Structure 1
């Protein structure tokens, strides 16, 4: 009887661990309509690190009151007020040249090529191997998820 209880507890513990990992999904946001100053601590009196341009994608790694600690595409971390971020999602091209295709298929026609650091709007947040994106000029299509940052 004892080995069965142990096995049930082990299975239950494993399921809880898996559930907690799924709940810790990445939380990406975008810098809102105006550029914002990013700080080295959660206060406007702390050191100013740099200015984040409007539309820049960031990963929220920690919330502290009205402030959030964010990571940018280069891995740098900084603080900003949560009100400065938008739920609208942008991604940034992280390879030298990303091909945006008409369909989520390597053989689909290329509708545009996006160079490194180009911002693209995330049209569909469901990320698989391919992600649907839109350029600011209106061109939309699918890009490989491995070619972008912000999902």
Structure 2
């Protein structure tokens, strides 16, 4: 195979990989990281205390410490066992992979967010959640996601929470 054809084959395979691993309707480019999981993706903090470092190794200094188990963060890069993420405020840092969980959670962004019984604002309100509360992400369809917040379940508009990729659908 000539060099030019080889270049086009590699490029074609790259494009096909992006298509195969992109969630339906998602607008973000998704690729497989070294872990075999898509990047970007959402995970949650697995421990009560998580050191966030400036680089992907324990030799790098700690930037800050999270003290909120279950907080959703968006993995944007991987290096070995380390995950680079961005949080809901746009801060980035590196954490050791064992300190994150694949458990999906969402952070309530709005103050006094109404969660509805159905995925529309015309249905009854099942619970009102305060800003900063974390709930388990149960499912997402189009613009709505269903959460479980300490046993109370309801639907929230996707723009009112942090923890899902744009257009991502979850069952």
User: Which ranges of structure 2 fall in alignment gaps of 5 or more residues?
Assistant: 1-11, 23-28, 31-38, 165-171
**Large movers: runs of 4+ above 6 Å:** none
- Tell me how far apart the structure 2 counterparts of residues 148 and 18 of structure 1 sit (CA, whole Å): 26
- Tell me how far apart the structure 2 counterparts of residues 88 and 21 of structure 1 sit (CA, whole Å): 19
Change (3 A) 1:43 1:144: same
Change (3 A) 1:54 1:17: closer
- Tell me how far apart the structure 2 counterparts of residues 86 and 18 of structure 1 sit (CA, whole Å): 24
TM superposition score normalised by structure 1: 0.81
- Give 1:4's aligned residue: none
User: Which ranges of structure 1 fall in alignment gaps of 5 or more residues?
Assistant: 1-11
- Tell me how far apart the structure 2 counterparts of residues 33 and 41 of structure 1 sit (CA, whole Å): 20
- Tell me how far apart the structure 2 counterparts of residues 140 and 83 of structure 1 sit (CA, whole Å): 29
Change (3 A) 1:65 1:16: closer
Structure 1 or 2, whichever has the larger Rg, is 1
Does residue 93 of the first structure (1) align with residue 96 of the second (2)? no
1:105-120 equivalences in 2 (<5 Å):
105-120=120-135
1:132 aligned to which of 113, 136, 146 = 146
Does residue 30 of the first structure (1) align with residue 51 of the second (2)? no
TM superposition score normalised by structure 2: 0.72
Does residue 51 of the first structure (1) align with residue 65 of the second (2)? yes
- Tell me how far apart the structure 2 counterparts of residues 115 and 49 of structure 1 sit (CA, whole Å): 28
Q: How far 1:20 moved relative to its partner? A: 7.3
Q: How far 1:21 moved relative to its partner? A: 8.7
